[in-house]
Amino acid sequence: MQVFSQELIDEACKVQHVADIKNATIGDILLISQYIEQRTDTPIIRMDQGSSGLPVNNYGVEAEKRALDTGIGSQYPAAAGVKELKDAASRFIKAFVNVDISPKGCIPTTGSVVGSFGSFIACTQRIPEKNRILFINPGFPIQKNQMRMLGIQWKEFDIYPYRGEKLKTKLEDELKDGDVAAIVYSNPNNPAWICLEESELEMIGKLATKYDTIVLEDLAYFCMDFRKDLSHPFQAPYLPTVARYTDNYILLLSASKIFSYAGQRIGLACISDKLFDTYYPAFVERYSNTGIFGPTMIADILYMITSGCTASTQYAYAEMLNLSCDGTINFVEETREYERRARRMKKIFCDHGFHIVYDMDVTEKVGDGFFFTLGYGDLTSGELVIELMKYGVSSISLTTTGSKLNGIRACTSRMREELYPVLEERMAAFEADHPIKK
């Protein structure tokens, strides 16, 4: 039995000015869900927005309070970031990635969304003929909206049929024209939770060097591939990264998920030492500056967007990074709750006829974590979004992530213990009303 009628969903779309729920953005689905919940006083299983679902890291809170007590709130923060955070970021990357990046290249950003926004600008302006971004899909829909805002053209392909050696051939085909400024992907992947394997990262890195393309590696879900234990600082195994195979990279980090510090909007854009110091005449012509990549990114691009990051939050981030390096904070174990939620949620869905869309990496089954993907029979992505909403489950269409497969993205962050039996009951009803032809 349906929980919500099609008429109510249509009403929510009309009131919230959402033109097409089948291709709605995360923000649109958020508005629709909130409207329906308020209108009916009935909870929705919220799988739409990837917000933090764990308590805030208290070490960061206390460090931020101490910083504010010193009076720093009256001063503008340095555009390049406070020394304490830059040093901590460099140390953190060494501890968990085993890659050396100088503190000067570790730039605080107002969340990794701003990190990608500034990186897109810098990457597409450094060499005039390199003016496109290549997305390895599926990916974070907001980054495509950033392209639209900036008027930047992009290329894209769904990685599903191009894993392993096939990825090299596909990438070379996309890069051979010489117009790609940067390659973008997330690892673990938002929304599919697939993880690029070491051999694939090596392919990407070597091709980035060959074609002078920058790799933007989005590590928002840092060390959250729970299939391997990445929780021990300065000990193998280390986080897989393209940074071992090229100097053309920017690593995008965030405090939102690993420290549940989403509300304070703090992240890092970590630029390789070589790229940071590289000279580009196009920057001199555009900005009348020294033409060096790193300083241009800091002073002429990121500073123009946010005028730096909140100083007290930078001290909080620095404290959490350093305590992670010391072993006082084990953010991997703390975020493992998402793995447990995903496992339970997947079982409920799969017991009632659903299937995991992106189910395999090259050599092993996709792990459990913050996100997963679901399909049902021959329903299209948009149809599944609507049908699940009727049964009180909100999600986003895989179409909006650049995927060529039918299904939806499911997020585990808002799942609560008391909602598991509700989900079980609703999906049993869904299966009964949507029999799959064998």
**pLDDT per position in the chain (438 positions), as tens?**
799 999 999 999 999 999 889 888 888 999 999 999 999 999 999 999 888 899 999 999 999 999 999 999 999 999 999 999 999 999 999 999 999 999 999 999 999 999 999 999 999 999 999 999 999 999 999 999 999 999 999 999 999 999 999 999 999 999 999 999 999 999 999 999 999 999 999 999 999 999 999 999 999 999 999 999 999 999 999 999 999 999 999 999 999 999 999 999 999 999 999 999 999 999 999 999 999 999 999 999 999 999 999 999 999 999 999 999 999 999 999 999 999 999 999 999 999 999 999 999 998 999 999 999 999 999 999 999 999 999 999 999 999 999 999 999 999 999 999 999 999 999 999 999 999 876
How high is the pLDDT of residue 211?
98
How high is the pLDDT of residue 428?
97
- Residue 426 corresponds to which amino acid? R
Q: Are residues 222 and 259 in the same domain?
A: yes
Can you tell me which residue has the tokens 């404290």? 319
Q: What token pair was written down for 183? A: 């390659």
How high is the pLDDT of residue 401?
95
From 294, 326, 358, the end of a domain falls on: 326
For the whole model, what pTM was predicted?
A: 0.96
Q: What token pair was written down for 382? A: 């948009």
| End-to-end Cα separation, the chain, in angstroms | 22
Q: Are residues 62 and 32 in the same domain?
A: no
From 326, 354, 384, the end of a domain falls on: 326
33 found inside a domain:
yes
From 300, 326, 352, the end of a domain falls on: 326
Q: How many domains does the chain have?
A: 2
Q: Give a three-class secondary structure readout of 75-127.
A: CCCCCCCCHHHHHHHHHHHHHHHCCCCCHHHEEEECCHHHHHHHHHHHHHHCC
Q: Are residues 249 and 142 in the same domain?
A: yes
Q: Are residues 26 and 157 in the same domain?
A: no
Q: Are residues 171 and 248 in the same domain?
A: yes
How high is the pLDDT of residue 438?
65
How high is the pLDDT of residue 1?
78
Element (H, E) at 60: helix 58-69
Element (H, E) at 350: helix 337-351
252 found inside a domain:
yes
Q: Are residues 218 and 366 in the same domain?
A: no
Element (H, E) at 374: strand 371-376
**Are 384 and 408 a contacting pair, CB within 8 Å?**
yes
**Are 62 and 313 a contacting pair, CB within 8 Å?**
no
- Residue 379 domain boundaries: 6-54+335-433
Q: Are residues 406 and 353 in the same domain?
A: yes
How high is the pLDDT of residue 136?
98
How high is the pLDDT of residue 25?
87
Q: Are residues 303 and 347 in the same domain?
A: no
How high is the pLDDT of residue 23?
87
Which of 215, 213, 211 minimizes the C-alpha distance to 184? 215
Q: Are residues 366 and 385 in the same domain?
A: yes
- Indicate which CATH number applies to the domain containing 23: 3.90.1150.100
**Are 255 and 263 a contacting pair, CB within 8 Å?**
no
Q: Are residues 210 and 105 in the same domain?
A: yes
Q: Are residues 319 and 346 in the same domain?
A: no
